Structure 1
């Protein structure tokens, strides 16, 4: 089969996902992309830009697009020759927390809804994300004046699936003799943005330090021109602990740093899967994650009580233990690495391939029946 891959925000996790999917699908793929900037403009204009570059719709058996493009616009412009579309939700615009400098804008959320209505298959990157999408959209529609629009969600739900993204763990195999001796290294490998809630992370570090627990610190993760003030303060507050504050462009260098860490922490308010956490676990890090969002899905149930925390006090107490416990106690958690390997692309490509092939066959079956 031949698939057209459309990514209107080709950067970060969006880029990693689309590149990985193209590399592992056992079909021919042709990818069209736009730079990862001006996301609202991308959502509104990407269909126009992509349709201009696509000459023969009948050359493709199917399309994969992410929610940074209006699928409704694209299919309307493509006309009756448009092949079936799988729409992949990395995030949705209903529950994405606005930055302190922005206001709530429901236009992108409506684009998400019309895209989902127009798509043939709607895929979410976690069960938690799917649940929050429908919950938030339901609350949104209930604010509308009559007539009732809740039927839209029933239509979308009927064609929705959960497809975890694949991860590329190549180069992340830690040495069998990796040391977990004190002091242990804590890593932040998330984006330096407000929705990742860095303030709570640095607060927990300060509280643990007050308990005379020593640690090393690596501040990895992508950053933009503007970063939260908490990072600037942390660079001074924890200067004696920081052994790295960088985001290596080369993935090999990034993995090399990550493989030296011992504890990965998230304090995020917004996370729909958690590739950064999965990568850290594959590198042998022990995760400390909030018991919300998609994080419970990244861990086996038997590790929930020790690796998921309910509030900041729970994070502090568990971090104190992980950063100071004997090495033999720390090593009891190393089975997590084998667990997280289920998110490797070699495993995840199987359900992706089935979903795409089923979508194409269903479309051809409908056309063949004359409906």
Structure 2
């Protein structure tokens, strides 16, 4: 099949998804992309821009459209040539603008959320990266639509839900590293955007407590930082200087995987997460996950109880201390991590791409 892919924000997880799938796909792909910055402007103009760009493409028979949630698919269908507009379309929800944190505004701009709703209705099928994400989006979308004075449209969600499915993001090829874990001086990794919704304060407070208790550990803090970086990072870099192995963004994904292959424990303190790719990659690389029992994490690790903590700072401290001292608990964590790694191995693109190729073909067969 010939697939027209439209990605208004070609960077990060959006780019990784398309690159990973296309590399392993049996379909032929034509990509129209825009740079991964000024996301609000991308959501405003992408449909118009892409509708103009498709008119200058070499004459090709396309079988389907694949786009992300950053595109207003309804507007694109209205402006594109009929031969393109009438194609069956699948939208992939990496995130949504109803529940994605917006730390720059005191009040959310719901125009972008309504764009997501329109795209949902305009698609033949909507793929969500986790069941948690789909449930949260539909709950919040229903509440959002009920706020309007009349013609509230929430009834459209019932039909739209039937057009959705769960499609985990594919993972890169990572060979699971079988190694002995250092229980007495573990190498702990925290890898996330350096922003408030990833809850770095909780993580560093837990590390301060381990330091005060005299427990040895090594620490790698990686991830993308921004201009308004929470001040806890500069404080923690000084307080925990003697424990730091790696601090800051790594130049390539290969460097990040190499780090994961030498570390012991991956910790998340996130208050916002639609899937948990960093945690999934860490597990594949041989790390033992310590994840809050909220968001998409229980789904990611199949509710394995020894891999989850209660989400509080005190709960994280207790979990890490138990992991250091309790051999029975250590064995349970290792066994449960191995089970999750088997599941995640099937999400590597070499195995997942044929599944998604067939799923995309089934959408066109029904059209």
Provide TM-score, normalisation by structure 2.
Answer: 0.92
Displacement of 1:288 in angstroms is: 1.0
1:141 is aligned to 2:170: no
Deviations 1:29-56 (A, max 9, x none): 1112111111111111111221222126
Aligned: 1:34 with 2:34? yes
Match of 1:107 among 81, 106, 111: 111
Corresponding position of 1:299: 301
Q: 1:361 aligns with which of 357, 362, 365?
A: 365
User: CA RMSD, aligned part only?
Assistant: 2.0
Q: Give secondary structure in 1 for the equivalent of 2:80.
A: helix
The alpha-carbon deviation at position 203 of structure 1 amounts to: 1.5
Alignment size in residue pairs? 359
2: CA distance between counterparts of 1:113 and 1:79? 23
**Once the 2 structures are TM-superposed, how far is the Cα of residue 334 of structure 1 from its aligned partner?**
4.7
- State the partner residue of 2:315: 314
Q: Which runs of 5+ in 2 are unaligned?
A: none
Deviation at 1:324, TM superposition (A): 4.6
Superposed displacement of residue 17, structure 1: 0.7
Alignment of 1:79-98 (within 5 A): 79-82=81-84, 83-98=87-102
1:119 maps to: 123
- The 1:323/1:191 distance shift into structure 2, 3 A limit, reads farther
Give the equivalent residue in structure 1 for 2:229.
Answer: 227
> Counterpart of 2:13?
13
Which shifted more, 235-244 or 55-64? 55-64
Q: Following the alignment from structure 1 to structure 2, what is the Cα–Cα distance between the partners of residues 324 and 10? A: 45
Does the 8 Å contact 1:164/1:348 carry over to 2? no
> Aligned ranges for residues 115-264 of structure 1 at < 5 Å?
115-170=119-174, 172-174=175-177, 176-264=178-266
- Quickly say closer, same or farther: Cα 1:355–1:244, change in 2 above 3 A: same
Deviation at 1:101, TM superposition (A): 5.0
Counterpart of 2:72 in structure 1 is 70
Deviation of 1:325 after TM superposition, in Å, equals 4.7
Structure-2 change in CA distance of 1:32 and 1:197 (3 Å)? same
Q: CA deviation at 1:146?
A: 2.2
What does the per-residue CA deviation read over 1:110-132, in whole Å, with 9 as the maximum and x for residues that have no partner?
00000111111111000000000
8 Å contact kept, 1:122–1:160: yes
CA contact (8 A) 2:183 2:323 kept: no
CA distance in 1, matches of 2:302, 2:130: 15
Instruction: Measure how far apart 1:199 and its partner are.
Output: 1.2
Contact 1:192–1:221 under 8 Å retained in 2: yes
Distance 1:294 1:277, change over 3 A: same
Q: 1:226 to 1:103 in 2, by over 3 A?
A: same
Q: Which piece of structure 1 moves more, 74-83 or 118-127?
A: 74-83
Contact 2:91/2:123, CA 8 A, preserved across alignment: yes
The 1-side partners of 2:32 and 2:323 are apart by 45
Deviation at 1:102, TM superposition (A): 4.9
Q: Distance in 2 between matches of 1:300 and 1:109?
A: 30
Matched, 1:45 2:32: no
- Matches of 1:100 and 1:31, distance apart in 2: 31
1:153 is paired with a residue whose SS is: helix
Q: Matched residues in 1 for 2:207 and 2:105: separation?
A: 27
Q: Which runs of 5 or more residues in structure 1 are unaligned?
A: 364-371
CA 1:232–1:101 in 2, change beyond 3 Å: closer, same or farther?
farther
Taking structure 1 as the reference length, what is the TM-score of the superposition? 0.91
Give the Å deviation of 1:141.
Answer: 1.4
